[in-house]
Chains A and B, each alone.
Chain A
Amino acid sequence: MINVNRKLLKSTKLFILVLIASGCVESNHSHFHSAMQKGNESFQKSMSLGAGSFRNPVPVPGNRLNLSESDIVDAKIDPASGAWASVTFDTRKSVAFPQGSDPIVAARDLVRNYANELGFQPEEIVLTEGGGSEPLPNQILVVFLRAYKGLPVKGAFLQVHLAKQADGSLRLSEFVNNSYGAVSIAPEVDLSPGDDEAMAAAGLEKVKVEKRELVIQPAIGSDGLYEFAYATEYKIDDLESDEVYTMTLTNADLRIAEAYSNRAYAKQQFTAEVYKRSYVLNDKFFSPLKFAQIFQEDGSVVTTDADGFADVSGSSVTVLLRGLNGGVGVINNAANPNAFVTFPLTLGANGKTSIPLGSVDIASMNSYAAFHAVTDYVGRFLTSEQLPLLKVGVPARVNVAGGAETCNSHYTVFVDGTNAIFLGGEGSGCASNGAISDVALHEYGHAVDDWLGPTSRRNGQIGMTDFAFSEGIGDILTAYMNRSPNVMPGFYLNNPNPLRVLKNSRKYPPANEAEAEVHSQGLIIAGTFWDLFEEMTKIYGPDEGQALSTSLFLNHLLITERYVDSYQAVLRVDDLDNNPATSSPHKCLITRSFAAHNLSGSDRVGADCVDTDTSIKVRVDTDHGDGKLALLVSAAGASRIVGCDGDVKGCEKSSSGFVEFKVAGDNPTVGKTGRKFFEGTGNVQAKADGSYSIISMDNSGKVLGAKTITFNPRDQSGDDI
């Protein structure tokens, strides 16, 4: 809830009955699943991979192939079988067959001659339809498939290319071989699983098995070599469409080895132009249209993936802004309060379909993208087991007008236990809240609060027990995601000022009734967490600082109901050894942040309190012997690094073992992204059972954090070339 008043909150607590249930807002589209939605995860994964698995062949000298080097232009072996993968010959010197020779007989002769090298015995040859062909002038191609003891080896083939000479003779020009080499197969189950058993293994329903065939299935084993299994290839008719799937299932363990469709899907990426934060900042960008339902002209439905891709055909589709699995869904109250937003779309000819800003209701599209963005962000730090909201989502209504919705947005739990987010429409000097992504993030924060904590929706209770805290949670989530303490700019129409500012000095308890109002009071805890964010960012830089702050914040919500308990809860989350008696790595900055807002009880820390810089890691660059080590150091945010002996929080040049580490600018052996790397200007002397401290500092030399490492002699008795 963004604005105003406790009455509304109370009325929400009293379970105002709003007769909106998910059933009322169902789309009236019929639902057909395409292949990408059919089957279980294993089947879908196999479908996404399609047919074929390959190993890169390795070039080898011709003399290793028992061939004359001079005859060979190029040679490669398949490392998974040791068999020839491809060999090309100089046709002036290669094997010749006289004029009038049958190419198929010639090719069979060649297989006989090179059976071991090709890993393909003559009796295993299955001739393809039509036998040889002449795809290019004077180039004859003979393709053999392979059968082992009468069973087709999936994907195995040999191409023999013969060059027709001017005198009509044939010369061997090339082998292209995918025989998979010698087949070794355990005497295992060779009976095909029954149709029902097979379809159950793939999670396929409303299908009919048209045909099945026993095959040998090759696969790459853990040792990098081919292994073989009896398997069954099924041709499966989808009774809900004209699609036919081909699936190969291993007989012994019912593992899906391969699955593909008769349809050549066209991947299309859907993007929508939305605001990153607010219309008033005009920070437009194209966001992938995630998990939207796409209704095709033939009546089938596909869902876009996390990158906005979907397999579609035809020239136009209808988009429904609602994920299939109950995820994010948006209703435009002003247009149709009984259905999720839907609109027609002409597909882009280049595989990209972009939806410009304003071509669809801005509030609907913008909030849809914002809810997905915040779901993705929170999902980086919590699992759907911890926060079921990530899986079930929450429906949202935009352009809500009148009454309590004037200049307002809110998250509401209904008497039947369902919930929804309402984003107010434009009016009374306020902007359409749907055009401000920050508002969507803030309201989602309420939903997070509702789902997390000892009291939560997951155990059938309303999870929002401390409403000031809930407002703070919405603001903190918004600020953390945007890395800005100024939240919800443009709330008042065309006014770029933020609705609230988290960089503040507000202290607990609230000084007066105005400060006690939930939105205002929420700024106490929000200001605390913003301080924590800034402290973390100093040590760890913007990326890791943001990640660590957000992780502490969201995880502490799992165990906290009231913001006055947040301090101890954050320390608990930060405690690496689950022992409150030992200091958590960031106790200094946590205490400093909470103390500034009078939320740390009697705990205080001095300016000299130094946290552990958990980002610091060390690699021995060169071991010079006798414990003399040249070290590389990485850190997330430090600008300077020094080190010295002992378990200390600072090093002077006069300290024992002092080494300065300079930025490893062009060292090719360190990573290029994310972290900063430093190399020692001198060697560190390692001592068994000794400690060595590495100190991270900012540009001015101010200590940011410290990490103490130990060197331990390594057991080298098992080392072997």
Chain B
Amino acid sequence: MERIIVAQLCLCAIFLIGCSRYTASYRPSGKSKSDAIGDPKSASSNPNSENGTSKPGKVVVGPNNQPVETPVTDQETLLQLNAQKFQGFEGLKAIVSYGDFSSELIPMQVDGKVGSLSVKGLPANQTDVLNVQVFQGDGIRFVAKRAATSLKADTQNTIVLNDCQIMIAPWDGKTNDGSCAWTIGEKK
């Protein structure tokens, strides 16, 4: 009898797995927009690095066509996301993009109320929009954007994203969504 029960349970589990399989139309590539950015291998062969030991940075063309290296953060940047919306989601991963930088898929650690991400090699000393796209499997589940974000090169940066900054994705376009500062109403 017990074996029958176990067999039943197994069959049910197979059925559930089969039913829940889902392929999203958008697959995260996790590829960097620019392989040179924040990539230590690229940096080590960077002819502009000083003594081969300096912080890897991005090479851009500056005034007088001189190559200029923009610095990246020394230490991992810690992103803390309010985990309220993540309840019931497991195995979340994220792609963090900032300026020209885009990370690989990073596993998100969720501990109680806080989801954490550690990102290496974000550009420093600039102000830009920090964009976090959160995936479960192949499907995007959330997106969070933080404008006017600046990171320092020589200290550990911790960025906090509140619940109101984390939006369900993809947006189905059937309801209005405001921001932390603004709600949207409709005039009748």
Q: Which residues of A contact B (CB under 8 A)?
A: 50-52, 54, 56, 58-59, 79, 128-129, 143, 145, 155, 157, 178, 224, 260, 576-577, 582, 617-625, 627, 629, 632, 634-635, 647, 668-672, 674-675, 677, 686, 691, 707-714, 716, 719-721
Contact = CB atoms under 8 A, between A and B. Distances in A.
30 contacts: A50-B8, A50-B12, A52-B8, A52-B12, A56-B90, A143-B6, A145-B2, A224-B88, A617-B174, A619-B167, A620-B178, A623-B147, A623-B179, A625-B148, A625-B181, A629-B179, A634-B171, A634-B174, A669-B167, A674-B173, A709-B176, A709-B184, A710-B184, A712-B183, A716-B181, A719-B162, A719-B164, A720-B163, A721-B160, A721-B161
Interface in B1-23: 1-2, 5-6, 8-9, 12-13, 16
A143 B182 contact: no
Contacts, number: 158
B180 interface: yes
Nearest to B140: A668
B188 interface: yes
Contact of A620 (B13, B174, B182): B182
Contacts of A672: 25-26, 170
B187 A647 contact: yes
Contacts of A712: 182-185
Interface string B121-151: 0000000010001000000100101011000
Contacts of B182: 620, 623, 627, 629, 686, 711-714
A668 B180 contact: no
Interface of B: 1-2, 5-6, 8-9, 12-13, 16, 25-26, 80, 82, 87-88, 90-91, 113-114, 129, 133, 140, 143, 145, 147-148, 160-164, 167, 169-188
B116 to A, nearest CB: 11
Contact of A622 (B88, B145, B176, B184): B145
Contacts of B2: 128-129, 143, 145, 157
A641 to B, nearest CB: 12
A647 B167 CA distance: 28
Nearest to B12: A52
A634 B129 CA distance: 23
Contacts of B87: 224
9 closest A-B pairs by beta carbon, nearest first, are A634-B173, A623-B179, A619-B177, A620-B179, A708-B187, A52-B12, A675-B173, A710-B185, A128-B2
Nearest to B169: A669
A622 B179 CA distance: 8
Given A672-B170, A686-B182, A707-B186, 13 more contacts: A54-B16, A128-B2, A617-B175, A623-B179, A623-B182, A634-B174, A671-B173, A672-B26, A710-B186, A711-B182, A714-B180, A719-B180, A721-B163
Given A619-B176, A713-B181, A51 B12 contact: yes
A709 to B, nearest CB: 6
Nearest to A49: B12
B162 A669 contact: no
A617 to B, nearest CB: 5
Contact of A668 (B1, B5, B133): B133
Contacts of A582: 188
B178 A52 contact: no
Given A157-B6, A669-B140, A672-B25, A623 B181 contact: yes
